[in-house]
Amino acid sequence: MKTETARRLRDLPRSSFATTVSKIAELVEVGDDVVNLCQGNPDLPTPAHIVEALRHEVLDPTTHRYPAFSGMLELKVAVAEWYAAHHQVLLEPESEVAILFGAKAGLVEISQCFLDPGDVCLMPDPAFPDYWAGVVLAGARMLPLPLLRENGFLPDYDALDPAVSRAAKLMFLNYPNNPTSVTAPPEFYERTVDFAAAHDVIVASDFAYGGLSLGGTPPVSFLQAKGAKDVGVEFISLSKMFNMAGWRIGAVVGHRDVIGAINLIQEHYFVSLPSFIQKAAVTALTGPQDCVRELSSTYSRRRDAFVAGLSDAGWHLDVPQSIFAWLPVPDGESSVDFADALLQKAKVAVAPGRWFGEHGEGYVRVSLLAPEERLREAVRRLTAFHPGPRGRLTQAAHTTLAPAPGAKAKAA
């Protein structure tokens, strides 16, 4: 029997993270203490009131039936209310909100909805690798939007070849950014809307980290820019702001035609999330938000401990604005070799920048999803492995950073 898979499956990129996870497991199995800062998997539990809401709903037999194909209206209303309260964006719940099996699913689906074989997608470089899968499955082409240090890790639309801009049908953006950990200012999104409107490009804005405010003020949403709903959509996730990664629930909002297409493809892929998970998500979005503020403060303290430790050792970097730090590797070393040596010799796991694209080379991504004491231990090992004075790591000061919540009071 022939079991050769379809080309679309053979062309799918393999996960480099899976290989590193296997290496970490091998080291742990022989007794090594590995500080794993490679993945973006939240380490804290889902808030108790959300778990209790799930427990209550799952005991209700009415939630055991098939839910509505396109998601519960109650949850769509909750998403719209969250956007109105936090970003002053008005959404029509039934036509401008779609419920997702996690934001990742929607980020793969949108390429399959709008790209035909040979079509062009503008892809940030570096970028979250899962964006690539949908483009490959659609048989489309990816052309890079370089994210360079000198541009504050924002794409420069004026630098694009005009022929590329004319050919593009879809483009991805992601701020707060994974992996560079920068945010985008309002004027950048205004330029994005102008570019997309001029070239008839659909914008897919990944706002998965938008619920966390490590800089003291909420990150700017793409949809806050005038005309944004006319040119694209935005994806949100409950994974990071509510520590609900294992629940696999998110949403996409914006242009109603895009929302309609995603609802259509999901009817065939997923049908809909279980009702009890959707109802618990309503509790998360509409209930007390103290847990989100506390989580932001926790991540801010972790970030500050990590940055302070590196600074004390003579390494200089900008303060990350999300749950990752983007560290330049020592001159002359590849990101893959540096990360592998750091794991094998110092027992600290980080993600090579090359995994995120060609322009990620020269950096490693460090996850801050670990307790402060583990982050301090990682700094101790990292600086012992490569002392700052012999390999000073610098990152461009491309933005003015606000202090962490409560930082001024503590300093005083």
Question: Which two structure tokens, joined as six digits, stand for 394?
Answer: 């610098």
Q: How many residues does the chain have?
A: 412
Closest CA to 84 of 230, 223, 274, 237: 223
Ordered by start, the domain boundaries in the chain are 7-44+290-411, 48-286
| Distance of alpha carbon 34 from the chain centroid | 24
| Bridging pattern class, strands 232-237 and 35-36 | unpaired
Bridge partners (DSSP) of residue 172 are 204
* C-alpha to C-alpha distance for 256 and 330, rounded to whole angstroms: 47
Cis before 219? omega within 30: no
Domain covering 48-286: architecture: 3-Layer(aba) Sandwich (3.40)
Query: DSSP states of 140-176 as a string?
Result: -EEEEEE--GGGTT---GGGS-HHHHHHEEEEEEESS
Question: For residues 370 and 270, which has the higher predicted lDDT (pLDDT)?
Answer: 370
pLDDT at 389 over 80: no
Q: Angle 222-223-229 (CA atoms, 0-180°, nearest 5)? A: 125
Which helix or strand (DSSP H or E) is residue 202 part of? strand 202-206
Asked whether this chain's domains 7-44+290-411 and 48-286 adopt the same fold, the reply is: no
Q: Which residue has the tokens 């209700």?
A: 60
Please enumerate in sequence order all residues whose Cβ is within 8 A of that of 281, keeping only pairs 6 or more positions apart, or say none. Answer: 75, 78, 238, 244, 247, 249
What count of Cα atoms within 13 Å lies in the side-chain half-sphere of residue 5? 7
Bridge partners (DSSP) of residue 234 are 205, 253
Give the pLDDT mean for 387-397.
43
Give the pLDDT mean for 82-109.
97
Q: pLDDT digit string (tens) for 16-37? A: 788 888 899 999 999 999 999 9
Q: pLDDT digit string (tens) for 200-228? A: 999 999 999 999 999 778 999 999 999 99
Give the pLDDT mean for 287-293.
96
In this structure, what are the phi and psi dihedrals at residue 184, rounded to the nearest 5 degrees? -110, 135
* C-alpha to C-alpha distance for 307 and 404, rounded to whole angstroms: 12
Q: pLDDT digit string (tens) for 168-211? A: 999 999 999 999 999 999 999 999 999 999 999 999 999 999 99
Assigned CATH for 7-44+290-411:
3.90.1150.10
Question: Percent of the chain, pLDDT > 70?
Answer: 94
